[in-house]
Structure 1
């Protein structure tokens, strides 16, 4: 029925006898048919229109509260930053977020939550672009080529849709200087070459800064303080300095940091035993398993914890939860 319905509406554009109408009438008929065809196309094919964008601030807040564990700072900062930016009709620059912390703490997961809150197709949207340093930019000898390709890719996609999202993973493994090639796109310009980048979003994911973050959390733990007492101000300065001065980081002496183009450095705290248990129970729900506290305990106990003496933090966060859960099914 659906195909017949569509074809019937498209018939005037194909079979209309233009000789039977005045020129003005022909223009109206053909124009209406073209508009209708475009409307039908946009209904089924994702386009850069409000129909395919629908920021859900409440949904993002609920997801961060119920699905992201042990990250009170990241949850608060991300919700405010993304909500404020998306609701701003005339932002002065693109939103640039840099997420830092150990592996398995939720950086990639949060990127997916943000994409799902803005784009109806989430990470599958053709307006969401993800780059992985070791996959997309593997060879240091090709850095000049990568710079050109990256600039062209961003310019082309933002030209097609101003509300594009770019995610750069493994920034700690990216070749030094490569990310600086996109500096102009992140700056305070009305447009560059006729293209405005102000509505775009850039998210960088990195393990760099993890040592500084972990040390602060460990100090709080040793002093008997609750980790929820830790504030962004306790971490941001040391974290950004470590990232900027780390020769193994893609941000090493980067102009993005030097020129203050990164809006927020967001720390992801190392996860403790209780958080790993929560991850295990959440994964059970995803797999439609009955919640089993005993299995959650076994999975959490299987993880390697550090530092060696204190054994407070899961070395891999929640990264291997799925495979460990399979073992105990």
Structure 2
């Protein structure tokens, strides 16, 4: 399998299984609501996120359309189409609102009426992925815009009485270094999943990661070939899961237990219940099953709920202990079945 990709192969990434799973689940079911990845520098956040795009299928769009419009919505028209890679758009840290949302040229409207709207990053990300590194350093107003567009699937730009609205359906992926500050809890809650990753400290595993990275940079094409079968297998597994997802069911008793967990953890709102259910279904589909198991729920429950818990200033629980607390509660509640 020859490839022009410059990305490190997703299947070759070692030691960050939770992050990889959270990304895959969002690809299987974009309605999960994106993922926020918190971790130290050099833990492979950006490498893993960028490599994900190589596992995604091509999409068909109207040729040269800046909004990546699906031509199937206009079957009655004879449109020229093209296949493109699923878009992966990265948001620069210093981006302005105009660059994100697009701009309306009022003068152009009055002079000719043509091409008065310049699409922005949200247009390019439509039907794809939008990645924001160091999202905790982004202006809160822009984060609000991204989250609102990701949730609604639309971007609206207004200027001097002129309004433009276009589809903006994308999976929002944020990453950040905790040393540079945290996201506001109100914003954090709106991400579907939350994953914390740590620097790998096991010496042999660190050595393996270093050796593989050096080999990859020495001969990218040849090295990528060695993972081609793994990449193809993973791509097919994700596509199969996407097709299977609507057939996956969850026992109402399990659904009730998820809500009991959320209730006992005092999770505000219903996002925790909904995301946990969606993530568990996506995991079952990924493993080629049509029914959610208790193990599926236990596997996704921490990164579905941890970022939604109220932080008590007097609580000294570490991240690891917080995971343990959620899992122990899940074990207790599901043991009554």
* TM norm structure 2: 0.41
Report which of the two has the higher share of strand. Answer: 2
Write 1 or 2 for the structure with the bigger share of helix. Answer: 1
State which structure, 1 or 2, has the greater radius of gyration over its C-alpha atoms.
1
What TM-score, normalized to structure 1? 0.42
